[in-house]
């Protein structure tokens, strides 16, 4: 099915991705950084398409703090997965005088002035931007959990075009947010005028890998057929599976490397989109995570090194590393160490596996150049002839001689643990795990400070009282709430302030929706609590049964007609066993309202009047549904469900939420969940 490129009124036509080809990489081609950056920029995550974290830019010898900005701390999608923490902190890029980052908390891409730290522009997406954007030729490319790849003008932040990563719009609850069934978490990488990204994280729902012309936004190729292939799983079980793209893609030569969540990456031919290999079974306990770094003949992922041509495991490495054409730099517990990649060798050795069987394995070794005892680094990059290290409450520069670390030549104290570093525009930018963004430059002088916005003072008005009565009368204070229309914005603000509800606003007026979103950002109210979508209430995609509460400031209203179609839309997202819509229906229209409910033939719908409100309630369970109350279904251990609603085809309805790993570990064989 064609996936739409949006730059109205044009459409794209996908090319074929069915021809298998494998091109041998020459040394010369590998030494050229694909998608090389302008010397003063840091245009992609970890500098370039290979994710080397090594720039030729030489920074000033002495650096002084220029400005700092306190950004909100981020909540990662998978807080209980140590290898999936890239989206737990901000990861900027730099193009010209713009420092640009994506923000999952506000579902936006924002640009700051590199010299002053002032905000220049902010572009609003419809889903969290969890991974870093990429820049090329005056453009910014960002992928969001709404399933879209956005191309923005780097100077102004305006939309140039956007490209749909998924086949259609289907929203679900994912990691505590309303997102696409196919979130675009294969973050973009740009090489040779082509931008690559991926959408979808559940192979059985479809994985969509795209190559898009970076200038026009038209498809070069799309691979939508390798999401669920019949392969060996860990423990050598045969099943349908595939890579689940989560993290920034990487490019080296003709290879496109796609990180796969906790598993090893998959590698594709970037010219055609054909899958070359995905060594899942062989590497069930090796690699994994969002970080992929491509070297000359190997790539690194999750503390492991793999051959680039075949994906064979060749040895262990430290997870914190920086790579140039002939050197590799490790961050270790007590400092840094460098290795000579130009003299790296692989050899076949005979070893004994865990079952006592003799096996031949390939091992990779690179001679050490030298080491330096400093402190335990949490971030590491190379800029010019220096390494820059960040750690707990410190950032420092290490002088290199022939790529051997010699001495710390500059250091600065700061508050917090450094999570990310980048060197651009004659400045060093530092990000901490708490969300602090710092800029160091050559000039010494006053430091500009941008504190986090203070929460607004509570307003006491009629909406304060109405929200309080609404919450008290329904007894709903947790879960999800759908607000049909933004209205004044006061009701939804009060619901967030007075309860633990997560509120989704469906606002038909795009200008009003954007205005409210920017107000909430200034008030430091995150989209994890109050998310606003500009959409037609009659067509907006909402998953069924998610809401404990639905509200509106007025009903009927513009975009919210009193019709059986609108009432069916109001009713569909209400959860069974008491999901309630609270509507301020005028007394003169209440008879018409009851008639429209009957005409809509809503299952288990009950209408009640509660003071100034009319409530529409989904009472009891869904017709045909059944319980699963014991380990094996029921007291007789029949392992047979009487539920008549669960029928193929099935799809993901929600995922994420709090971890149960400590209670029901994956290999702990604990009790089965009961419903």
Output Rg (C-alpha) for the chain, integer angstroms: 27
Mean pLDDT over residues 338-357, rounded? 83
Same domain for 474 and 558, yes or no, is: yes
Q: Which helix (H) or strand (E) holds 613?
A: strand 613-618
Same domain for 469 and 613, yes or no, is: yes
| Better-scored residue on pLDDT, 261 or 121 | 121
pLDDT over 50 at 14, yes or no: no
Same domain for 473 and 610, yes or no, is: yes
Confidence class for position 407, pLDDT limits 50, 70, 90:
very high
Give domain status of residue 303, yes or no: no
Same domain for 518 and 596, yes or no, is: yes
Q: What is the pLDDT of residue 233?
A: 82
Same domain for 510 and 586, yes or no, is: yes
Same domain for 536 and 557, yes or no, is: yes
Give domain status of residue 646, yes or no: yes
Mean pLDDT over residues 613-627, rounded? 94
Mean pLDDT over residues 206-214, rounded? 97
Buried b (16+ CB within 10 A) or exposed e, 293-314: bbbbbbbbbbbbbbebbebbbb
Same domain for 602 and 651, yes or no, is: no
Same domain for 558 and 519, yes or no, is: yes
Count of CB atoms situated within 10 Å of the CB of 659: 12
- Domain tally for the chain? 2
pLDDT over 50 at 209, yes or no: yes
Q: What is the pLDDT of residue 7?
A: 43
% of the chain beyond a pLDDT of 90: 77
Q: What average pLDDT does the chain have? A: 90
Q: What is the pLDDT of residue 241?
A: 85
CA–CA separation, 188 and 148 (whole Å): 11
Q: What is the pLDDT of residue 665?
A: 63
Give CA separation, 455 vs 155, 276, 526, in Å.
30, 51, 12
Q: Which of 30-44, 280-294, 492-506, 549-563 has the lowest mean pLDDT?
A: 30-44
pLDDT over 50 at 5, yes or no: no
Same domain for 477 and 613, yes or no, is: yes
**Domain end point (choices 569, 593, 618):** 618
**Domain end point (choices 618, 643, 664):** 618
Confidence class for position 667, pLDDT limits 50, 70, 90:
low
Same domain for 520 and 649, yes or no, is: no
In 35-180, at which residue ranges do the beta strands (DSSP E only) sit? 54-55, 64-70, 93-95, 98-103, 108-113, 119-124, 134-136, 139-143, 148-153, 159-164, 171-174, 177-180
Give domain status of residue 382, yes or no: no
Q: What is the pLDDT of residue 250?
A: 98
Same domain for 593 and 638, yes or no, is: no
Confidence class for position 377, pLDDT limits 50, 70, 90:
very high
Q: What is the pLDDT of residue 184?
A: 98
Confidence class for position 612, pLDDT limits 50, 70, 90:
confident
Same domain for 554 and 654, yes or no, is: no
Give domain status of residue 561, yes or no: yes
% of the chain beyond a pLDDT of 70: 92
Give domain status of residue 470, yes or no: yes
**Strand 313-316's sheet: what is its strand order?**
292-294, 298-301, 304-307, 313-316
**Domain end point (choices 576, 593, 618):** 618
Main-chain phi, psi angles of 4, to 5 degrees:
-75, 130
Nearest CA-CA partner of 541 in 159, 165, 1, 146: 146
| pLDDT tens-place string over residues 411-456 | 999 999 999 999 999 999 999 999 999 999 999 999 999 999 888 8
CA–CA separation, 581 and 460 (whole Å): 24
Q: Which of 211-215, 458-462, 491-495 has the lowest mean pLDDT?
A: 458-462
Give domain status of residue 568, yes or no: yes
Q: 667 is in which domain, residue-wise? A: 629-675
pLDDT over 90 at 17, yes or no: no
| pLDDT tens-place string over residues 265-314 | 999 999 999 999 999 888 878 889 999 999 888 999 999 999 999 999 99
| Alpha-carbon 160 to chain mean position | 22
Mean pLDDT over residues 637-644, rounded? 92
Confidence class for position 2, pLDDT limits 50, 70, 90:
very low
Give domain status of residue 571, yes or no: yes
Give domain status of residue 29, yes or no: no
Q: What is the pLDDT of residue 20?
A: 26
- The CATH number of the domain holding residue 480 is 3.40.50.150
pLDDT over 50 at 34, yes or no: no
């Amino acid at each position: 099915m064609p996936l739409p490129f949006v730059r109205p009124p044009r459409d794209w036509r996908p090319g074929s991705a069915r021809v298998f080809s494998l091109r041998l990489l020459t040394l010369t081609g590998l030494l050229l950084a694909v998608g090389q950056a302008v010397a003063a920029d840091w245009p992609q995550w970890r500098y370039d398409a290979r994710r080397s974290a090594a720039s030729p830019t030489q920074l000033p010898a002495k650096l002084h703090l220029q400005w700092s900005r306190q950004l909100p701390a981020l909540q990662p999608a998978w807080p209980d997965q140590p290898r999936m923490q890239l989206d737990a902190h901000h990861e900027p890029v730099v193009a010209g005088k713009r420092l640009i980052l994506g923000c999952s908390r506000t579902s936006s891409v924002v640009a700051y002035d590199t010299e002053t730290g002032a905000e220049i522009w902010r572009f609003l997406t419809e889903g969290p931007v969890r991974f870093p954007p990429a820049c090329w030729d005056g453009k910014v490319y960002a992928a969001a959990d709404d399933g879209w790849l956005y191309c923005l003008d780097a100077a102004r932040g305006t939309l140039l075009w956007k490209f749909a990563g998924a086949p259609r719009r289907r929203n679900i609850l994912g990691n505590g947010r309303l997102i696409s069934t196919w979130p675009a978490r294969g973050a973009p990488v740009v090489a040779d005028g082509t931008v690559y990204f991926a959408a979808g994280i559940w192979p059985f729902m479809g994985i969509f890998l795209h190559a898009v012309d970076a200038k026009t936004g038209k498809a070069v190729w799309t691979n939508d057929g390798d999401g669920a292939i019949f392969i060996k799983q860990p423990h050598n079980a045969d099943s349908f599976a595939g890579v689940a793209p989560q993290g920034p893609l990487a490019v080296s030569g003709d290879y496109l490397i796609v990180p796969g969540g906790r598993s090893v990456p998959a590698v594709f031919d970037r010219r055609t989109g054909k899958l070359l290999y995905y060594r899942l079974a062989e590497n069930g306990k090796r690699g994994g995570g969002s970080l992929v770094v491509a070297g000359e003949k190997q790539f690194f992922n999750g503390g492991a090194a793999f051959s680039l041509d075949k994906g064979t495991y060749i040895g262990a490495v430290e997870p914190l590393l920086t790579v140039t054409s002939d050197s590799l730099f490790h961050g270790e517990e007590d400092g840094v160490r460098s290795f000579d990649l130009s003299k790296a060798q692989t050899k076949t050795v005979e070893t004994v596996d865990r079952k006592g069987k003799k096996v031949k394995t390939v091992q990779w070794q690179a001679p050490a150049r030298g080491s330096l005892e400093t402190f335990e680094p949490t971030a590491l990059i190379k800029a010019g002839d220096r390494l820059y290290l960040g750690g707990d409450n410190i950032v420092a520069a290490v002088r290199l001689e022939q790529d051997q670390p010699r001495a710390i030549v500059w250091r600065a104290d700061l508050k917090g643990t450094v999570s990310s570093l980048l060197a651009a525009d004659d400045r060093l930018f530092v990000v901490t795990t708490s969300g602090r963004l710092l800029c160091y430059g050559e000039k010494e002088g006053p430091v500009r400070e941008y504190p986090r916005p203070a929460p607004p003072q509570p307003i006491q008005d009629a909406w304060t009282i109405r929200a309080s009565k609404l919450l008290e009368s329904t007894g709903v204070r947790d879960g999800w709430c759908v607000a049909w229309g933004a209205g004044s914005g006061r009701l939804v603000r009060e619901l967030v302030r007075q309860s633990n509800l997560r509120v989704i606003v469906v606002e038909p007026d795009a200008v009003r929706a954007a205005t409210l979103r920017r107000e909430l950002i200034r008030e430091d109210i995150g989209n994890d609590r109050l998310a606003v979508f500009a959409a037609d209430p009659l067509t907006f995609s909402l998953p069924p049964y998610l809401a404990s509460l639905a509200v509106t400031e007025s009903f009927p209203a513009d975009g919210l007609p009193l019709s059986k179609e609108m009432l069916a839309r109001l009713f569909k997202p209400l959860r069974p066993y008491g999901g309630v819509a609270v509507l301020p229906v005028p007394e003169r229209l209440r008879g018409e309202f009851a008639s429209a409910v009957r005409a809509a033939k809503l299952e288990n719908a009950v209408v009640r009047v509660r003071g100034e409100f009319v409530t529409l309630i989904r009472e009891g369970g869904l017709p045909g549904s059944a319980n699963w109350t014991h380990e094996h279904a029921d007291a007789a251990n029949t392992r047979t469900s009487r539920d008549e609603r669960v029928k193929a085809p099935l799809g993901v309805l929600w995922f994420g939420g709090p971890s149960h790993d400590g209670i029901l570990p994956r290999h702990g064989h604990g009790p089965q969940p009961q419903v």
